[in-house]
Chains A and B, each alone.
Chain A
Amino acid sequence: DAGITQSPRHKVTETGTPVTLRCHQTENHRYMYWYRQDPGHGLRLIHYSYGVKDTDKGEVSDGYSVSRSKTEDFLLTLESATSSQTSVYFCAITSDPGELFFGEGSRLTVL
């Protein structure tokens, strides 16, 4: 498996609180992605990065921000969590546009 870890793996929080999910890789891959997975919606792209400090919006970016200050870390922040952001979040990495290697996922519950 590619060296990719997500933290935390599980989190329960309350509406209105900030949340940060971390994706850490040891592969020195250029590209990193954040997806959310919900029943009936598949994998939807939130934000992605194609280099340090190079990020762009995906399909469902409202309410989320990201930062990538170094190659190995890609942070996803929910400034003020809402119940609609309850989901499983997957980080993925790749060296060139091609095969994605996914992390194990982070399950977020917003009460």
Chain B
Amino acid sequence: GENVEQHPSTLSVQEGDSAVIKCTYSDSASNYFPWYKQELGKRPQLIIDIRSNVGEKKDQRIAVTLNKTAKHFSLHITETQPEDSAVYFCAASTMNRDDKIIFGKGTRLHILP
């Protein structure tokens, strides 16, 4: 079955700098890669996703890149702000009818003042 590895587990960056979180997956049939943000005490919420027919997607300060050959994808946050402090999860799925959505272990991002 699918296995998703996520690095680093903890990341601290200065406010205004960029943050990058990386994930690898094992199932070459996976074609949908979402990222979720979980603030302290809250539920996870989708912030961006990418499908395998594109290599990059941007939404304001957030971007995701995908390398299907290497089976890895990354989340990039530019001009980080205090409200970006949270735990971020990557996930992978084949989007088949009976599919599982498997998550990485998460990255705790600290934005330092």
Number of CB contacts from chain A to chain B under 8 A = 61
| Chain B residues with a Cβ closer than 8 Å to the other chain, count | 26
One of A20-28, A44-52, A65-73 at the interface: A44-52
Please report the total number of A residues contacting B with Cβ < 8 Å: 24
Question: What does the 1/0 interface line of A67-109 toward B look like (CB < 8 Å)?
Answer: 0000000000000000000000010000011111011110000
| Contact call B101/A97, Cβ cutoff below 8 A | yes
Tell whether, in the assembled complex, residue B100 and residue A99 are in contact, meaning their CB atoms are under 8 Å apart.
Answer: no
A102 touches B32 (CB 8 A): no
A interface footprint on B34-57 (CB within 8 Å = 1, 0 otherwise): 101000000111100100000000
Interface centre among B6, B9, B36 (most CB of A within 10 A): B36
Complex Cα–Cα for A43 and B38 (A): 11
Do B44 and A44 touch across chains, with their CB atoms under 8 A apart?
no
A97:B96 contact, CB within 8 angstroms: yes
List, in ascending order, chain B residues with CB within 8 A of A42's CB: 6, 89, 103-106
Once the chains bind, are A104 and B43 in contact (CB under 8 Å)?
Answer: yes
Interface of chain B: mostly helix, strand, loop or mixed:
loop
Q: Does B112 contact A (CB under 8 A)?
A: no
Give min CB distance, A96 to chain B, whole Å.
Answer: 8
**Cβ of B61 < 8 Å from any Cβ of A?**
no
Asked whether B83 is an interface residue with its Cβ less than 8 Å from the other chain, the reply is no
Is B100 in contact with A45, judged by CB distance below 8 angstroms? yes
Task: Collect the chain B residues with CB atoms within 8 Å of residue A40's CB.
Answer: 9, 105
Whether B46 lies near A99 (C-beta < 8 A) is: yes
A residues in contact (CB < 8 Å) with B: 33, 35, 40-45, 48, 50, 54, 56, 58-59, 90, 96-100, 102-105
Q: How far is the CA of A53 from the CA of B97 in the complex (A)?
A: 14
Q: Which residues of A contact B1 (CB under 8 A)?
A: 59
A43 in contact with B103 given A97-B96, A102-B45 (CB within 8 Å): yes
Q: Which residues of A contact B100 (CB under 8 A)?
A: 45, 48, 56, 58-59
Query: Contacts A45-B100, A45-B101, A56-B98; is A99 near B106 (CB within 8 Å)?
Result: no
CB contacts under 8 Å to A, within B53-109, are 89, 93-106
